[in-house]
Amino acid sequence: MLPAAAAIESSSLFKDNGIEVGGWINAGITYNENNPADRFNGPVTFADRSKEFQLNQLNVFMQRAVATEGKAWDFGGRFDLMFGTDAIFAQAYGIPAFDVNTGQPLKRSNLDLNLCCSSSRFYNMALPQVYIETYVPVGNGLNLKIGHFYSPTGYETVPAPDNFFYTRSYTFSNGEPFTHTGLVGNYTVNKNWSFMGGAITGSATGGWDGGWDKELNNWGGLAGTTWTSDDKRSSANLTGSYSRTSTRSNEPWGFYSLVLQHRITQKTLLVLHHTGGFADGAFMPDGNKDVAWYGLDMQLHHDLREDLSVGIRSEWFRDKDGFRVCSPVRVAQATNSVHISFAADFLATCQPADYYDVTLGMNWKPAKQLKLDSKLMQKLNIRPNIRYDRVEGIGQAYRPFDNRKDQLLVSVDATIQF
């Protein structure tokens, strides 16, 4: 059989069985007015390098989506593979290099921390989603997912196409989990109410970002509910998790996230997001203590045209014990390096502080204006951003932005889905 004919037959086979193969490419560049010598943008995640092109995400996936209603069982699943500078944030890094409660070295998860790129300082590979899914025809229909998947909490997320801005908020980056391993179910009661619940494991950080080869006896809970108005213009989503920290500690680790959305007009969306979390008995420089963090961010998006939108995000995040926000975040995670100094020539700093940021951004899909007929180019989305960050240390001065209290970032990135 000719290769072209084989490809067509394979594509037809996938389509006939409801299997979708796709992905996206996301890349960008950021300018930091502080011009840091190490080129790190402090505690800012994702677009964390200054004056350096970043291939943030080359993500491919294979998926068979399951039914969301009906009277018949349905089966499917999804597999994602991500390569790029963002991969370090999508890995199952929930077992840190050192125990949260004792400070002792730990053996980390083998799920995706060492898939590739041992000689690269910033590029890596991740398996952010590997799960099977089932639709169970009971009541109004129950969807069950088991495996490794993105957290169904909060508002922002890791995949670039699902966010309005290039950079992410502290509330998301430092206040919430990125992924889970376990089982989660979703059930719709009626047009106004739906519920989510499940069990999570594989983590030494309270069920956050766990794998499936260690900490498998450390089970915790994941739950949430969503209310939607009759006219679909308003919604409220409350989610959270609770678990003991690890198999070596019964100290609790938990958080909650509240997302309120209201479509002011057909073209204007308002989002309010609040999160709060705690971890008891954390190992800190001044001894073991109960730590907490919380934040509030607001986003406003407005469609100027079908292919052009503008937005603003403002935020306050309080890491009152210096437990969640470290600078640079990439160095603090050090998921693929034996020595932290491999990513930088210094250790990450973590101090009690209040973080503030304001981001102005735009989403422009230029295909129509530039008369690009290619189907691929019609999916091109360009996002210029201007972001201002400021930090106020709690109890002491803190300057994580290249020895400054603030910084201004100007960035642009592009995403093409395929």
| 3-state class (DSSP) for residue 198 | strand
Burial class of 170 by CB neighbour count within 10 A (0 to 12, 13 to 18, 19+): buried
Distance, in Å, from the CA atom of 248 to the CA atom of 397, rounded to the nearest integer, reads 35
User: What CATH number does domain 3-417 carry, 2.30.30.100, 2.40.160.10, 1.10.1370.30, 3.90.180.10?
Assistant: 2.40.160.10
Is the pTM higher than 0.85? The answer reads yes
- Output the pLDDT for position 196: 98
Residue 139 identity: G
- Output the pLDDT for position 118: 80
Burial 118-128 (b: 16+ CB within 10 A, else e): eeeebbbbbbb
- Output the pLDDT for position 12: 65
- Output the pLDDT for position 119: 81
Instruction: Give the contacts of 61 (CB within 8 A, at least 6 positions apart).
Output: 20, 21, 22, 23, 78, 79, 80, 81, 129
Distance, in Å, from the CA atom of 106 to the CA atom of 113, rounded to the nearest integer, reads 14
Distance, in Å, from the CA atom of 244 to the CA atom of 251, rounded to the nearest integer, reads 5
- Output the pLDDT for position 337: 40
- With contact defined as beta carbons under 8 Å apart, do 182 and 160 qualify? no
- Torsion of the alpha carbons at 340, 341, 342 and 348, rounded to the nearest 10: 60
Domain locations in the chain? 3-417
Q: Locate tokens 């350096």: which residue? A: 52
Mark the ranges of the chain whose per-residue pLDDT is less than 50. Answer: 7, 335-344
Distance, in Å, from the CA atom of 218 to the CA atom of 120, rounded to the nearest integer, reads 32
- Output the pLDDT for position 333: 73
Longest dimension (CA), the chain: 72
Instruction: Give the contacts of 378 (CB within 8 A, at least 6 positions apart).
Output: 365, 367, 372
Q: Which stretch of DSSP H or E encloses residue 218? A: none
First to last CA, the chain: 27
| 3-state class (DSSP) for residue 260 | strand
- With contact defined as beta carbons under 8 Å apart, do 417 and 379 qualify? yes
